Amino acid sequence: MTDMMTELSRHAAGRRIHRRQHRKTDGRDLFLYGYAPHTLPLMAGEDLQTVTGSELRWHPLRGEWAVYAAGRQNRTFKPSAAANPLAPSKPGAPLTEIPFEDFELAVFSNRFPSLYPDAPEPGVTDIEAVAAKGACEVIVYSPQADGSLATLTQDRRRLLVEAWIDRYQVMFDAGSAFVLPFENRGDAVGVTLHHPHGQIYGFPIVPSPQQRAVQAFEDGYDLAKEVKAWGDAYWINKAGGLISFAPRYARFPYAGWICARDPVSGPGAFDETQADGFAHLLGDTVRRYDAFFGCETPCMLSLHAAPYGRDGKFQFTAQFYPLLRAPDRVKYLASVEQATGVFTVDIMPRQAADQLRGAI
């Protein structure tokens, strides 16, 4: 078991960021990030077991990889508030994934991973397959069991940005080819734990959509230049050198993207002003969705930074995909979308931008 305190090289709004690393009894890592060093004592009695067993198989007709992870079938599913595994542990109660009484922000290796560092070689030989080596982490935004990016303070969102940046570096150093921080929000997206959190996957391969994006940027596509050329009709908000906007080629109704006006390849390339602006727009975008749809909007968020070693001309985006096409109307991804990848979008992006811009 290890317990190590580190001060990160990047700061947030002039404040130091500290990281405490704890090795759990089943060998998984837990990292506690905060503006103050985390010094609370470990609560005794932790006894968890990680479920593993997965592989990547190639789909020759679609030209893409899929993860087969049978161990995830029995993962935690909508536990009671008393059994919330993402909450701080409390005396006299069963320990959670975080065996401390309090924390600012926590990251831990998933108990039910699709990808993990010591994944074995595949057991099949008659189909193209590779070991599912990589990482699957859970990032817990807050010790409070409710809330969202919209309700977190700006300081807490800035801490989240710095934690993401650190996890990018750690996963790349460990050999990941592509790192994807993401969040699923709401029952319609399939969320099974409602405590505010996201996940981070470190892939051993570059997935097909990201590989195509790399090629597009290397072939000369300039997203930031194009967004500027679209003009204010498509923007939603601006902050700190970044802009949130409805892309003219959105695949979801009310899709909202964030990118830097002067492009960067990933959050690690942000300066202080850009990091502040990004943190603000994360909360602002979710607030606008909730105000426009009149509910806690079911939504997917993913951060698209350059794969390892492919910074070059790559331009970072954060992409929001709401699963509503109107208040109380779910956007179902039915046969046409699933079979062809050709999405039917129910509202024009310019109208979406107008409505979201006026939502708050």
Superfamily name and number for 3-205: HIT-like (3.30.428.10)
First to last CA, the chain: 48
Give the contacts of 177 (CB within 8 A, at least 6 positions apart): 203, 204, 205, 206, 307, 308
Measured distance CA(262)–CA(275) in Å, rounded? 13
Which pLDDT score is estimated for 75?
72
3-state secondary structure of 223: helix
> Which tokens belong to 221?
């596509």
What are 31's strand-pairing partners?
21, 107
Tell me the H-state helices in the chain.
Answer: 154-173, 208-218, 223-230, 272-293, 335-340, 349-357
Superfamily name and number for 210-357: HIT-like (3.30.428.10)
Same fold, 3-205 and 210-357: yes
pTM of the model: 0.96
Q: Which amino acid is at 277?
A: G
pLDDT digit of tens for each residue in the chain (360 aa)?
468 999 999 999 889 999 999 999 889 999 999 999 999 999 987 777 788 889 999 999 999 999 999 878 777 767 777 789 999 999 988 899 999 999 999 999 999 999 999 999 998 889 999 999 999 999 999 999 999 999 999 999 999 999 999 999 999 999 999 999 999 999 999 888 889 999 999 999 999 999 999 999 999 999 999 999 998 999 999 999 999 999 999 999 999 999 999 999 999 999 999 999 999 999 999 999 999 999 999 999 999 999 999 999 999 999 999 999 999 899 998 999 999 999 999 999 999 999 999 999
> Which tokens belong to 34?
């905060």
Which pLDDT score is estimated for 351?
97
- Domain segments of the chain as ranges: 3-205, 210-357
